[in-house]
Structure formats: structure tokens, C-alpha cells
Amino acid sequence: MILTLIYQAIVLLFCVVLVWEVFTEKKFARQLTAVVVLVPMLLRLLMIK
């Protein structure tokens, strides 16, 4: 259980960094790249997949 919480905290950190990347990246293509990485991270954070 503690391991799962630590794992989710790490994934949450990645999600925050990726969302930050979407807001700060100037090129739309790079924003989309962050989105592609963000989707599986969110699914993991929510323990769906």
C-alpha cells in the first residue's frame, strides 16, 4: 500500500511536469508530444491501466 502511494506520487510529479511543459512550450507540436506522454501517465495515476 505504501509502495503504491509512493508510485502514485512519482507519477503525479511527472504529470505536473508534463502539464507545465504544455503551458510553457512555444511550439504546438511539442505541446502535443507532452500530451502523448501525459495520457498514459494519467491512466496510471488513476490506476486504470
- Produce one character per residue of 35-44: b if its CB has 16 or more CB atoms within 10 Å, e if not: eeebeebbeb
Q: How far is the CB of 16 from other proteins (least distance, A)?
A: 13
Site residues for other proteins per CB under 8 A: 3-4, 19-20, 22-24, 26, 28, 31-32, 34-35, 38-39, 42-43, 46-49
Q: How far is the CB of 47 from other proteins (least distance, A)?
A: 5
CA atoms of 15 and 20, how far apart (whole Å): 8
Q: How far is the CB of 9 from other proteins (least distance, A)?
A: 15
Cell readout for 9 is: 506520487
